[in-house]
Amino acid sequence: MKLSDDTLKFIEILDTNSNSPLKNLEDLGVIIEVSATYNDGHIFFNQLVFNASIIFKLSEKLKSSSPSQEGIELIQKEFEKILKDFKNNMRNLTEYLEDELSAQFENKYLQLSKDSVINIINLSNDLALVKRLQIKQSK
């Protein structure tokens, strides 16, 4: 998918405002482009950004916790719920993609596998930057 100049500029702003390089630059560009192109795309984008922020925070909490830590089951349960919501939003977004690109997103993010979860966490890190930038701009 060819990205518009606006999408490329937005990604550049995100990259400039991040503390580390974006991990899924191409996929992030596709998500932003689809969201900007289609009438209801902004809905999927806002939901993805919101869920990504939660996924990223919960994954960090899970990484730093031990399995025996009190309350960790609740965090795990919430992580699984928000992951399901994220996948549903991604599935909705992929309906706007060409078949080949849709299949790539399906294989990378929408499988029931550890690799898909890792890919979602990495993408969530990039999408969480959008949320942090929105908060920064609103101050």
**How far apart, in whole angstroms, are the C-alpha atoms of residue 117 and residue 31?**
18
In tens digits, the chain (139 residues) has pLDDT values of 899 999 999 999 988 888 888 889 899 999 999 998 887 777 888 899 999 999 999 999 999 888 788 888 999 999 999 999 999 999 988 999 999 999 999 999 999 999 999 999 999 999 998 888 888 877 7
E strands within the chain?
A: none
pTM of the model: 0.89
CA angle 124, 56, 137 (to 5 degrees): 75
